[in-house]
Amino acid sequence: MNLIKRLKAKWRTVRNTQKAIKLKAACALYDHRDCSDVFCAEDVKHIVIFRWDDKLGDCIMAGILINNLRLHRPDIKITVICRQTTKLWLDKVSFIDKYILLGKHNLRKTLQPYKNKYDVFVDVSNGFSYKEIFIAKYINAKHYLGFSADRFNIIDVSIDSKQTHFYQRYINATKILTNKECLTSEKPPVPNYKKELEFLDSVIIDKNYKNIVGINFFGSGKYRRFSLEKAVSLMKYWLEKHPEDLLVLLPTPGEEKFLTKLVNQLASSNLLLPTDKASLEMSLAIIDKADFTFTPDTAVVHMASALDKPVIGIYRENRMNYEEWKPLGMHSQTIFNREPICDNDSVYVYEFGYEQLEETRANILKAIK
């Protein structure tokens, strides 16, 4: 098994090296600014926020920037470069003047109408890929606000490098663009989920359990999701070990068959799938109703952070990633996966010991009870 893992890791090393070479070549062409104006927040009238990767966690945190601009700088027009998941969330929490729905192809054709239209290009991520640096340059904004000014010449308005967590980065970006140290709100906005919460209350009203626990098995990519076999094994252990817990599964788009099979195999009154209709609002309702939620490092963690609700988050043994995306909800706990056996070894989310689960569960319940 270790040999197979090492071979896969070597192949990932080759791919990462190829990406680095492409990025270096792209930076030689595109990593520079054409405008020499000095940045002045008062002069900013049009911004474009870069959310091309469509990661919901980053989108959730971006709501802080967008809604505070609406309150403190309503004169600023906001465009977001994104895909459908980001648009779905932002449409529910704020007003966006324009979306640029950008796929992986025909980048020039899609972006051409938006060249030279923006005062500031906003991207708080750790840097650009070779395609992303092309997109940033092609937009040709007057200024570029970002976190990686030490690595990219195109960035001239820098977020404080001490702001490691993406939440802090968006707070810092907001203060730069509004010229305000004190903001009206520093919590990410969330969609209204009152109807889903009422439905959830009606489903579990007669169920008499000591603890309600939200359960999510799915993150982005195959390494951040449980296999059905591993999910069944974990739930069987949890149900036998803690019969006082009601485990409520978060419905997830495209995973209806997985969750139905899971419920049918275990056939336990302690395991509940309240509906197979997935929605952002239902996920929020379950997170809010639960005493805590168990989840891989994914958007569910950041929904809980927005609601200030506790989670047990499962993270790779990568402390930089953890500091950038750790849970912010009160009393939250973390399970770290096993350490990789070599560079570029990808570890599955379920590679942790149940003793870690017991410790983190006990810590949360002790804190909230």
Task: Enumerate the β-bridge partners of residue 292.
Answer: 213
Task: Enumerate the β-bridge partners of residue 314.
Answer: 296, 335
- Residue 12 phi/psi, 5° resolution? -65, -35
Pick from 164, 171, 157: which is nearest to 319 by CA?
164
pTM, to two decimals: 0.92
The answer to whether 290 and 361 are in contact (CB under 8 A) is no
d(CA 165, CA 133): 22
pLDDT by residue for the chain (369 residues), tens only, comes to 466 666 666 767 777 788 889 999 999 999 999 999 999 999 999 999 999 999 999 999 999 999 999 999 999 999 999 999 999 999 999 999 999 999 888 899 999 999 999 999 999 999 999 999 999 999 999 999 999 888 999 999 999 988 899 999 999 999 999 988 877 778 899 999 999 999 999 998 767 899 999 999 999 888 999 999 999 999 999 999 999 999 999 999 999 999 999 999 999 999 999 998 999 999 999 999 999 999 999 999 999 999 999 999 999 998 899 999 999 999 999 999 999 887 778 899 999 999 999 999 999 999 997
